[in-house]
Chain A
Amino acid sequence: DVKVTQSSRYLVKRTGEKVFLECVQDMDHENMFWYRQDPGLGLRLIYFSYDVKMKEKGDIPEGYSVSREKKERFSLILESASTNQTSMYLCASRPGSGNTIYFGEGSWLTVV
């Protein structure tokens, strides 16, 4: 089975802190994604990556950056966390030749 692991399930950070959300997939997938999920808004794409060191902005990239130094790892970075970034963050991956996206269990971030 495909495994997408988000190492931090629950985080509480202070306004202005730098936050790292880590995601690792074990199936050698080329594509990786970061989504943000808020009630009533569904899933919104923050960034995606289709290869190592490659990244593309999604629908809501402001206030976020990403890093993909290795194929299996895709990190989401909040340079200076703000309270409006309190949310559930979902990482996902997809093989280059496939069409099914596989999700991690999510990271709940609270910024106080």
Chain B
Amino acid sequence: AQSVTQPDIHITVSEGASLELRCNYSYGATPYLFWYVQSPGQGLQLLLKYFSGDTLVQGIKGFEAEFKRSQSSFNLRKPSVHWSDAAEYFCAVGPSGGSYIPTFGRGTSLIVHP
């Protein structure tokens, strides 16, 4: 069975500092991997996704993520955080093809200090 672990429930950073949010997955084959962001009171917006190819994936809002098969990780990064990045971030994993159902992590809440 597939699973996703986001080890950090909360992360606090200062505005302008770099950010890394961790995501570890468990899946037998090559997974499809996603990062979503949820602003307060809103639905989830796709930040980026990895299906195959280059393991460093660029997304919207200046985010990137790196797929590391050896570590079963798909960590999200941003070099300089803005106050508007404060939100909940969800990692998700899904098998390729078919009528798959993705599995979501429990989320990491990002707090940005001025």
Contact = CB atoms under 8 A, between A and B. Distances in A.
Contacts of A101: 34, 46, 92, 102
B42 A100 contact: no
Interface string B74-114: 00000000000000001010101101111011110000000
Given A42-B105, A90-B43, A99 B99 contact: no
Contacts of B104: 42-43
B21 to A, nearest CB: 14
Contact of B46 (A40, A42, A43, A102): A102
Interface string B29-55: 000101010000111111001010000
Interface of B is mostly: loop
B44 A99 contact: no
- Judged by DSSP, the binding face of A is strand
Interface centre among A43, A90, A104 (most CB of B within 10 A): A43
Nearest to B49: A100
